[in-house]
Structure 1
Amino acid sequence: MTINVPGRFEVGTTVVRRHVWGGKVWSAMPYRVLEDVGDYLTVASWPGLRGLVSTTWIKAFLDDGHGRDQTIQELASGTWRLGWWAWQGTTVRSWYGLDAYFTVRQYFDADRRPLSWYVDFDLPKQRTRMGIDTFDLLLDLVAEPDLSRIQWKDVEEYEHGRRLGLIDDRAHQGVLAAREEVVGLIESRQGPFAHDWSPLPLEGWRTPVLPVDVRSGAVSSGLWIS
């Protein structure tokens, strides 16, 4: 069951996170809600969840990242096709700050031992009747489980996205501010980084699936934040 906007999503509800550019869905993944307090939403995902994503991205992922430039070119051109992709290997808790230019993830192995923190820099999220819409801004950060060390990822891809017009000046300023905010939260162990590493309560939860109309109702542009 899904609560209609502007209501919150109940624990255990299936929600869909979509990345949208130019009014077209770039990727869509189903999750189960762990918590929805209004200004942020935490969700769970685990091996076997099936979503839709660019077929070029799938090919690059299977080829150890080779071809990522083509994926970004395709995104800028708006000519991608979607294919089915099954999440494998790790269980993930994701924190979506609705007004934030970033998303924080905790990764666990098959025995639910912590592997890493991962930060995706993305647009502030827009609630929809099925979940949330956003747009991945290509830059990432990885941190050790104890937050003792961080590493920036995909800086060159971010710059490439800037050159192609995927990330305009407004979004760029949002990312610059978010970078400082994230580093500060990591250093102080606050915000989403204050959450503990307790095992996810997944026993008895059925695997969520995408709704049949997941490609409909997308926002008109990748940069729709007012």
Structure 2
Amino acid sequence: MNSETEGGGGMRCFTPGQTVQRRDMWHDQVWSTQALRVIDDSATALVTAMWPGAEVRVPDSYARSRRSAHMAERGDVIRQLAAGTWTLTDTCWQDTVLVLWRPPHTYFSVNAFYTVDGGDGGTRLRNWYINFERPSVRRGQGFDTFDLFVDLVVDADLSTWNWKDEAEYAQARRLGIVDDSEHAQVDAARDQALAWVTERRGPFAEAGWWAAWRRDSTWPTPTFARIAR
């Protein structure tokens, strides 16, 4: 099946309940991948979710950096990306429930992180996380994008926010991973995303619904084996 830019006239629609795969692609190499459950798919946004136990693949160096407090190891991850020398490792999502709201054409997605309260599947909105990334390209099994390092973290009540991973973004700029053209796109997306927060637009217009959202505990955990071939 041919790839389709998200929001195009022949856009493939995914079915609620379907398991799809997000791939972060650097040139023709898979940088990371996640198994996600489709919550909704419309002209406004593709909404997917994952929770503890969902299967992911990440660079081995990234997995090590997550277990380490040394910032130098985070730098090694980006240097491996620039050199194309990483190795993927299989692992699982941990600790939080994550809902990803992916609008078409934008250089960001809006992510809602929920803490897991108790063993009954209950959750509480912990914070919002605006992830700056390339616009999605759809495939038969899911969609491709690429994380552009910098992020905007927003409190659950939308009262305060802060920028995250600016040092990693600057390193990616120095190494040519983010060129001048893409940097201009990210700058414009920063302004757009912050306006959405302050003006309560996009998913933030329904912040109360998001705060009350709960995952159905009977949903099967997203795994790569569940993705339709």
TM over 0.5: yes
Superposed CA deviations along residues 23-71 of structure 1, whole A, max 9, x for unmatched, are: 0000000110111003420111110111111000000011136310000
Residue 75 in structure 1 maps to residue 81 in structure 2: yes
AA partner of residue 70 (structure 1): D
Equivalence for 1:224: none
In structure 2, the residue matched to 1:11 is 16
Secondary structure of the equivalent of 2:224? coil
Is the aligned partner of 1:205 residue 2:219?
yes
Q: Which residue identity does 2:141 align to in structure 1?
A: M
After TM superposition, the runs of 4+ consecutive aligned structure 1 residues lying more than 3 A away are 211-214
AA matched with 2:166: V
**Unpaired stretches in structure 1, ≥5 consecutive residues:** 215-226
Correspondence for 1:147 among 158, 163, 170: 158
Between the aligned residues of both structures, percent identity stands at 36
CA distance in 2, matches of 1:171, 1:211: 34
Mean CA deviation greater in 27-36 or 56-65: 56-65
Q: Contact between 2:24 and 2:31, CA under 8 Å: does it hold in 1? A: yes
2:58 alignment counterpart: 53
| Alignment of structure 1 residues 19-30 onto 2, 5 Å | 19-30=24-35
Offset, 1:168: 1.2
Gaps of 5+ in 2: 5-9, 118-122
What's the secondary structure of 2:163's corresponding residue?
strand
Query: What is the SS of the residue equivalent to 2:101?
Result: strand
Report whether the alignment pairs 1:182 with 2:193.
Answer: yes
CA contact (8 A) 1:96 1:102 kept: yes
Q: Which has the higher helix share?
A: 2
- Which of 94, 97, 112 is the matching residue for 1:88? 94
Q: Which moved more, 1:189-198 or 1:159-168?
A: 189-198
Asked if 2 retains the 8 angstrom alpha-carbon contact of 1:20 and 1:133, the reply is yes
Give secondary structure in 2 for the equivalent of 1:72: helix
> 1:11: Cα distance to partner?
0.5
- TM-fit CA distance, 1:212: 9.7
After TM superposition, the score normalised by the length of structure 1 is 0.88
Contact 2:55/2:223 (<8 A) preserved: yes
Question: Partner letter of residue 107 of structure 2?
Answer: Y
Q: 2-side partners of 1:82 and 1:200: how far apart?
A: 32
Counterpart Cα distance in 2 of 1:213 and 1:31: 9
User: Conserved in 1, the CA contact under 8 Å of 2:109 and 2:132?
Assistant: yes
- RMSD, aligned α-carbons: 1.9
Calculate the TM-score normalised by the size of structure 2: 0.87
Task: Show the counterpart of 2:169.
Answer: 158
- Residues 101, 110 of structure 2: 8 Å contact kept: yes
Alignment of 1:89-128 (within 5 A): 89-111=95-117, 112-128=123-139
CA offset digits 1:50-102 (Å, max 9, x no partner): 11110000000111363100000000111100001211111111111231100
State the alpha-carbon separation in 2 of the partners of residues 140 and 201 from structure 1. 25
Match of 1:194 in 2: 205
1:6-29 Cα distance to aligned partner (Å, 9 max, x none) = 320011100111100020000000
How many Å apart are 1:173 and its aligned residue? 0.8
